[in-house]
Amino acid sequence: MNSHGQNEQRVVWAVVGTDIGPLLLAATSEGLVNVVFHATDAVRDAALERLASRLGTDPVEAPDSPLLTEAIRQVEAYFAGERHDFDLPLDWSLISGFNRQVLRALASGVPYGTVVGYGDLAGRVGQPGGAQAVGMAMGANPLPVVVPCHRVVESDGGIGGFGGGLETKRRLLALEGVLPEPLF
């Protein structure tokens, strides 16, 4: 509690090395709140500034925090090919409305090793014809990898866009056996 008798939000973070580059993981007492691709120093610092602004507190580096240890363990197991599902509490506070609805449907309804079209996912949330809005929701996903926006593809077989870059999307889909491993 702070001096005004209010609970203070605590945000902890760590950077984890993966096959697709460093990922920043951030968590609150509610759960994992943010995953950021390509977490070099500059990207990490910008992401931490955005989190501080959005959540009202400065994130603290704490890789051994109980709020992060299980998330780190599960992310490492996923990239080692030992885990297909994430079983983590998630803090959805960075996203709301339609975007949250779509991401929750994605998290619960598109399992490892499968893909779904943007339009199909729109239909699942009662918005047929909302493929473009689903694409916007994927781009706003604060929890990529854990909430698997890389599994959303174009209906014509195209890979679609990806906030982490198309090569990252290809590598994640290859890890899950949807695409062949890149040759180089």
HEC string for the chain: CCCCCCCCCCCEEEEECCCCCCEEEEEECCEEEEEECCCCHHHHHHHHHHHHHHHCCCCEECCCCHHHHHHHHHHHHHHCCCCCCCCCCECCCCCCHHHHHHHHHHHHHCCCCCCEEHHHHHHHCCCCCCHHHHHHHHHCCCCCCCCCHHHEECCCCCCCCCCCCHHHHHHHHHHCCCCCCCCC
Q: Are 121 and 132 in contact (CB under 8 A)?
A: no
Residue in 146, 149, 152, 173 annotated catalytic: 149
| CA angle centred on 37, ends 35 and 41, rounded to 5° | 105
Residue 75 CA to residue 85 CA, distance in Å, equals: 10
**Residue 29 is a catalytic residue:** no
Active site members: 149
